[in-house]
């Protein structure tokens, strides 16, 4: 059995006196989709940012393909201790944010090509070929030469997904990828994410969309106040929740 792409053990994260994660364990095996659900403030997005080393955690282990992150310092002073390792991990974990974070002065094609060319130093012609292929894949291949402001929110988010894919990552991390979109545009993005899940890509997805979580996930994790309250296969979690808190959460959010 291969090592999980991402493994998080006993992760703790605080902002000053506010403890956001209180000892969380998550495993994302190769080819699996793990969805993180829970109320605002439960620690979902913070967990994702810690996994990608965008946030420093105070305690616990993070492993990427079986390789533990090297830390220096302790507690509030803890930070990644090997810069080369940190960059390598980040470039293998493409993050898709709630806000699309596209460069407004670059065309869509240039946006998708930028990181593979400047960060990975890949051949420009080869990257352009990949970028066009991924823009076709997410359904906006005809938008290569336009600027982000000329696209709808759904198209911009699909461009952001193509940008993530063009890095050829080991895993994709989605942080509420549809929450800034109108329902109609949201479905465009959900379709792309479902297609990626069907291809067997490794993904960690923070979402408020319970239907998407149920449809795409191999495993769903319900976070409550910085702890895992319940987790399991989607059919089990959504069909027969054991926790009173999860039942309450689903009664408010779930649409069948």
Closest CA to 39 of 187, 205, 178, 207: 207
Mean pLDDT of the chain: 94
For residue 256, what pLDDT is reported?
43
**Burial per residue of 14-26, b for 16 or more beta-carbon CB atoms within 10 angstroms, e otherwise:** beeeeebbbebeb
Q: What is the pLDDT of residue 192?
A: 93
For residue range 29-66, list pLDDT tens digits in order: 999 999 999 999 899 999 999 999 999 999 999 999 99
CA–CA separation, 5 vs 42, rounded Å?
24
Token pair 């509420």 in the structure block, residue = 176
Whole-structure pTM value: 0.93
Q: Is the predicted pLDDT of residue 106 greater than 50, yes or no?
A: yes
CA distances from 192 to 64, 121, 178, 228 (A): 25, 27, 11, 28
pLDDT digit string, tens, across residues 183-232: 888 989 999 999 999 998 999 999 999 999 999 999 999 999 999 999 99
Inform me whether the pLDDT recorded for 11 exceeds 90: yes
Q: In terms of C-beta distances under 8 Å and separation of at least 24 residues, what long-range contacts does 186-190 make, across chains too? A: 186/154, 188/139, 188/154, 188/155, 188/158, 189/154, 189/157, 189/158, 189/161
254 pLDDT above the threshold of 70: no
Mean of the pLDDT values across residues 67-94? 95
> For 118-147, how does the pLDDT look when each residue is reduced to its tens digit (9 = 90+)?
999 999 999 999 999 999 999 999 999 999
pLDDT band at 179 (very low <50, low <70, confident <90, very high): confident
- What is the spatial distance between Cα 98 and Cα 111, in angstroms, rounded to a whole number? 17
From the number of C-beta atoms within 10 Å of its C-beta (0-12, 13-18, 19+), residue 50 rates as: buried
Place of tokens 């319970």: 210
In angstroms, rounded to a whole number, what is the distance separating the alpha carbons of residues 239 and 42? Answer: 22
Q: How many C-beta atoms surround the C-beta of residue 70 within 10 A?
A: 12
The two beta strands, 203-206 and 33-37, are: parallel
The answer to whether 8 and 59 have CB atoms below 8 angstroms apart is no
């Amino acid at each position: 059995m291969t090592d999980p792409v991402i493994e998080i053990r006993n992760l703790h994260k605080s902002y000053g006196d506010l403890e956001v994660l209180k000892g969380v364990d998550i495993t994302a095996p190769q080819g699996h989709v793990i969805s993180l659900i829970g109320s605002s403030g439960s620690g979902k997005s913070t967990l994702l940012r810690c996994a990608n080393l965008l946030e420093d955690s105070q305690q616990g282990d993070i492993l990427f393909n079986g390789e533990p992150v090297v830390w220096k310092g302790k507690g509030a002073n803890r930070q990644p201790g090997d810069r080369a390792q940190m960059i390598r991990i980040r470039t293998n974990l493409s993050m898709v944010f709630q806000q699309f974070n596209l460069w407004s002065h670059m065309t869509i094609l240039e946006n998708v090509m930028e990181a593979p060319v400047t960060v990975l130093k890949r051949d420009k012609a080869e990257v352009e070929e990949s970028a066009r292929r991924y823009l076709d894949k997410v359904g906006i291949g005809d938008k290569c030469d336009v600027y982000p402001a000329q696209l709808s929110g759904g198209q911009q988010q699909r461009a952001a997904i193509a940008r993530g894919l063009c890095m050829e990552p080991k895993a994709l991390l989605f942080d509420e990828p549809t929450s800034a979109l109108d329902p109609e545009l949201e479905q465009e993005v959900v379709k792309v994410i479902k297609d990626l899940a069907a291809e067997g890509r490794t993904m960690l997805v923070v979402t408020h969309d319970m239907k998407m979580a149920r449809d795409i996930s191999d495993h769903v994790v319900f976070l409550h106040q910085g702890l895992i309250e319940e987790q399991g296969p989607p059919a089990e979690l959504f069909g027969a929740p054991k926790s009173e808190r999860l039942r309450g959460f689903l009664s408010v959010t779930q649409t069948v």
